[in-house]
Structures are given as C-alpha cells and as structure tokens.
Structure 1
Amino acid sequence: MIETPLQQDQAMPTADVNRHQTAAAADNRGTAKWRPETITTLSVFAISLLLLLCSRFVSPALGSWDHLNTIMMLASFLIVVAFGQGIVILTGGLDLSAPALITLGGVLTTTWIGAAEGSSELLIPAVLLICAAIGGISGLGVVLLRIPPFIMTMATGIITASAALGYTSGTPRGAAPPLLVELMKGELVGLPLILLFVLLFAIAGSAVQSRTSFGRRLTAIGANPAAARVAGIPVGLSTVAAYMTSAGAAAFAGMMLVGYANGATLRMGDDYLLPSIAAVVVGGSSILGGSGSFVATIGGAILLTTLSTVIAALGIPQGWRTVIEGSIILIALLLLRENTFAWLKRRAR
C-alpha cells in the first residue's frame, strides 16, 4: 500500500514521539541504576578515601598501608556493633544497651573462656546466647509492655552493667582465648585475618539485611508496622529477634576487643554507643526505620574511624576532638541527604 503525502506527514510525528519515548525510557533505566542508596554508599567510601589521602599532609605515617591496617582493625569493632544497631534501627527502634553487652561479652570471655583451656568452641556460643537472651528481654519489653526502645534498652544496659560490676567485684580477671587472639592478630597468606573477617562479615551482614526474609520483614516493620501486621508479618517476634541480634553482635564485638587487648575492662564498651548510631545514620539509614544498607553502614564506620585517627594524630585535646567529629558528622549527614542529591542532579541539568 502506497501512503499519500498526508499520511506520511501524519506518520512522521508518531515516529518522532516513539523515538522520544524510547530514549526517555532508556534514560530512566540508566537513572534507576543509581538509586539514592547506591549514591550514598559510593559517597561515603569516596569521602573516606579522600580523608585518607589528605591525611598524608598531616603526617607521612598516615595514609600508608600500616595506617590502613590500623583503621580496618579499629573499624572492625564498630562494624560489628553497627550491624546489630542497624538491624534495630531498621525496625524504628534504638539499642542503648550495646555498651553494656560489649562489656558483658568481654568479661564473660575472660572469666569463663580464658580460664577454660580448649573449650573456646563451646563457650563462645554460650556467651553469645546469654547476651542474646538479654537482648530478647529488651525486645519483649518493647513489644509486650510497650516501653519505648530508648527507655527499655537504657534500663537493660544499666542492669547488665551493674551485674557485670558485681560479678567481677570491679576487677575483671582472666586472659583472652588463643582463638580470639589469632583472629585479631593472625595472618593468612600474608593478609591480616581481621581484614578477611571484615570482608566475610560484610557479605554475610549485607545478605541478612537485604536479601533474606528476616531483613525484608524488619524493613517492612520500620516502614509501617500496621501494614506489616496486616500483611501477616510476625511483627512482635521479628522485633524481638532484631534486639537479640543486636545484643549478640555487641557481645561478639566485646570478644574481639578482648582478643585485641588481651583483657577486659568494665568501660570497654562506652566508646561505641554514639559511633554505632552515627555509622548507621551516616551510611544513609533512616533513624525512623524502614530503610538502610549495611554496606553503607560499613562505609560510615570506616569514615568515622579514619576521622578519629586523623584527629588523634593532630594532637587535639579530647574536648575539641568531640566538637570536630560531631561537626564533620553533621556536615556529612547534610551532604548525604537524598534531597542534596536531587538538588545536585537538577543543577547538573
């Protein structure tokens, strides 16, 4: 069939429209690959790398391979604690008992495992279960008694810290089990074991939070608990499991600290409460729950640890260190907000 000139003129705009729609769809597909979570994750790691490179101007010893190993060693504790904290924050809660459970995990490790030769494989899970049970108590208080997470976990933390004080009479005794010392200070094929552990933990933690039904349930609960309950999600049970996970992660971080320092103290967990929350939030997770990425949380932990080592190298007094760290965290939060990315995208156009 031969088209008339009029039909050809009418067909041309349609073809142009189709081409424009196809191009727009391709652009949208390209934009969809760069979700806000992906941009946040890349930004956090980029800022950490930039800070590490700039630290060379502070001291030649900074920014080296040894400095990087030190950062990863110190960040490993925060990464483990922040994983559990992020799981709770994903539900819209907050775990203030983490420092006390870090201490309890460390104390039980030295007094039980350190004094029992050859039984680390059995006692390590026992310590983790005890601490997870304490986290379960916090979860039950939040779910059944409707106590706000802030209050419930604070009370649990105070009771746990007091119990650790009474159990040790103020002086924790014992040494670190060889298994934990090897984890923190050993090497495999020329690489520190702790680096390999962080890599495996990052893969496992990211899978748990983003790829499993457990992680998806927690995300749904944080986004809308009522809708999650209507959808058949066991909101109460999942919430309790989240607090148990956080407590177990904190206890294992205490074990790692014991392996690193070859001993335990009653204040060993105090420095990890605010950084664990900050690492999760700097990583782009919503403090109100419903969204979060563990890979981005790892980036936040590395960023905070790098910042801490650089500030310490400058010899700044502790009070000013806190002010500087808090200011930089606030700036990072403002820069990493989704609205900021949207504004930059509009400016780029």
Structure 2
Amino acid sequence: MTVEATLEAPTDTRRAARFSGEALTAMGLFALSAGMVAASPLISPALGSWSQIYTILLLVSFLLVISFGQGLVILTGGLDLSVGSVMMLGGVLTTTWIGGDSATFWGVMPVVLAFGAGIGALNGIGVAMVGIPPFIMTMGVGIVTASLALGYTGGTTLGAAPPPLLLLMKGDILGAPSVIVFVLLFCLVAWTLQSRTTFGRKVYAIGSSRRAARIAGVPIVSTTILVYATSGLCATLSGAMLVGYSNGATLRMGDPYLLPSIAAVVVGGSSILGGSGNFVNTICGALFLATLESLIAASGLGQGWRTILSGLIIVGALLVQSGWISGVFASVARRVRGAGG
C-alpha cells in the first residue's frame, strides 16, 4: 500500500462533520469582520469607506503570507517563533542586496528567498533530526537571526525598495490593485498545497500522530524540514512585500507579525497541538485580525495594547478549542436546572 493511499482522509461522516465545523467558523469570522467594518463609522466618520477596506486588505496581505508558513508548522504540532526575525532579515537583505536596482531584482530576489528558506530548514533540522523542542529551537534561531541583521547593518537600515516590489504593493493590474491579485493567487496556491497534495496529507498525518505516520511510511524528517523551510520562505517573502509597501526596512519590522501569525491560525480553528486546520479558515482569521487592527489603530491605542489584545485573542481561542468555556456553561446550566428542580 502506498503512502498516498494510507494517508487518505477519514470516513465521509467525519469529513462532513469536520467540514461543517470549519465552514461555520469561517462564516462566523467573516461575519464578524464585515460587522466591524459596518460599525466602524461609530469610531470615526472617516471609516467604513473603500479606503479602509483597501487598508485592511493591505494589512492582511503580509499576515496571510506569513501565516501560511506558520500554519504548516502548527499542523505538525510545532511553533515557529523565528518568523518575525526572518521577516526582518528578508526586508534588510532586499534593501541592501537589491535596493532600487530593477536589473538585479529577478536574479537576486530568489537568492534572498532561498536564504530565508535555509534559515527555516535549519529550524527543521534542529527539531526533526536533533530533537530540540520547536519552541526552543525557533526562539534561538530567531535571536541569532536578529543579531546577524543587527551586526550586518550596524544598527541602521540601508537601501531602498526595488521598483518591482513598489509596483506589486502600490501598482495596478488591469484596474485592480496588484497586491490583491497577488494575494488571491498566493492563497490559491497555498490552499492547493495544504489541502490537495500528498505533501499536505503528510503534514496532517505527522500532526495527528507521529508514530502512526512513521508506521505508514511518511518521511517525517524530510517533511518536517520542508515545512519549516516553507515557513522561512513565507516570512522572507512577507518581509520583502513590507519593504515594497513602506519603501524601506527597519530592524523591528517583523516583531508586530509574530503573535498575529499564530493568532490567525489558532483563531481560524487550527489545533495548537497539530493535526487539524484549514487554510481557508486561516484566511478568515487573518481578515478578522486585520480588521480589528484597523479599528484599534483608528481608536488611537498604542502598539503595547495591540500586542496585549493579540495575546488575549490567542488565549481565548485556545480556551474555546479546549472546551473549557463550553464546560463552564454546561456546569452552570446543570446547577441552574438542579436548583430549579
């Protein structure tokens, strides 16, 4: 029996039940996002316009790219805490190795992306081959990566955004914002890779049960390394996109995206323990967070409060997943019924 046959999805009943739950989560998150946009004029009369919606789509573009890689790592039962540093390094290398030179962009940009993927692969090697816990391995690599960027730049940012990235983030394609077209294509490729390929089924299998996946013949080491490499690649690409948006790089540019990259996946319903999740739900989770971010920014709250809110959202999503909240309500309901009887 082939690995592909062994990794087939569960029974139709379980698949239908899982799809129903994921669909409800996605629709709920989308409805909340739409409701926040509709209610945003209550915060400021300037909100609720196409300009706000476009800003949300810009914010979500960076988050979607980085969250896809993070989501794959979470599917295996891991966590990538280096994505913020890798994103920052990707931005720094884009501005220093390429800068405003269009001629070298297409030759050097793949090298920058490969560099980020290599850092991610290093995480995968430490986790899959050496046995270092993902939390420790990725945190250590993130610290080293940030230190390398600091030493390389001397504490100052250099260079400018390459014109192709400026066109991607601020230009149009046939009348449509090019970044939106790019994100739609990225989401299609990402969803296909996660949900419709043998690689995706292997990732789910590892997260569901590493022992069962090994028995089924899944190449756990190489798949895990590839997952972390993909996360590094996505973080680097997101950093390059942010350079195109802001026309430069800073040494802390990736920090605001670490917690949201985890929150988008968890809020979307993916289990932090691995084995379950859907990229469509991650898209809805990222859209919800980006909408909330735009409202928080309009209200004038500082970055510290935004970070606290991201942490609270993650904790809340984990409590919902654990069944603790539903258990509390069920316990209260039983007591009320008992008192009434």
- Given the two structures, how large is their TM-score scaled by the length of structure 2? 0.87
CA distance in 1, matches of 2:152, 2:223: 32
Matched position secondary structure for 1:249: helix
Deviations 1:42-99 (A, max 9, x none): 1111111111111122122212111000000011101111000001111001101101
CA distance in 1, matches of 2:20, 2:308: 32
Moved more, 238-247 or 111-120: 111-120
For the pair shown, which has the larger CA radius of gyration, 1 or 2?
Answer: 1
CA distance in 2, matches of 1:148, 1:229: 19
Is the aligned partner of 1:237 residue 2:222?
Answer: yes
Q: 1:89 is matched with which residue: 64, 74, 94?
A: 74
Partner of 1:15: none
Unaligned runs of 5+ in 1: 1-27
Is the aligned partner of 1:179 residue 2:164?
Answer: yes
Q: 2:42 is matched with which residue: 29, 54, 57?
A: 57
CA deviation after TM superposition for structure 1 residue 288, in Å: 0.5
Matched position secondary structure for 1:35: helix
CA distance 1:311–1:109, change in 2 (3 Å): same
Do the aligned partners of 2:267 and 2:313 also contact (CA within 8 Å) in 1?
no
Moved more, 282-291 or 54-63: 54-63
CA deviation after TM superposition for structure 1 residue 212, in Å: 0.8
Is the aligned partner of 1:203 residue 2:184?
Answer: no
CA deviation after TM superposition for structure 1 residue 298, in Å: 1.1
Partner of 2:338: none
Q: 2:129 is matched with which residue: 137, 140, 144?
A: 144
Partner of 2:236: 251
CA distance 1:87–1:321, change in 2 (3 Å): closer
CA deviation after TM superposition for structure 1 residue 167, in Å: 1.0
Partner of 2:61: 76
Cα RMSD, aligned residues only? 2.5
CA distance in 1, matches of 2:249, 2:301: 27
Q: 2:200 is matched with which residue: 215, 220, 238?
A: 215
* Aligned amino acid, residue 260 of structure 2: P
CA deviation after TM superposition for structure 1 residue 115, in Å: 5.6
Deviations 1:150-203 (A, max 9, x none): 000111111111111111111121111000000000012221111111111111
Is the aligned partner of 1:125 residue 2:110?
Answer: yes
Do the aligned partners of 1:99 and 1:269 also contact (CA within 8 Å) in 2?
yes
Q: 2:174 is matched with which residue: 189, 200, 210?
A: 189
- Given the two structures, how large is their TM-score scaled by the length of structure 1? 0.85
Partner of 1:289: 274
Matched position secondary structure for 1:144: helix
Unaligned runs of 5+ in 2: 1-12, 334-341
CA distance 1:85–1:328, change in 2 (3 Å): closer
Moved more, 282-291 or 326-335: 326-335
Number of aligned residues: 318
Matched position secondary structure for 2:130: coil
CA deviation after TM superposition for structure 1 residue 322, in Å: 4.2
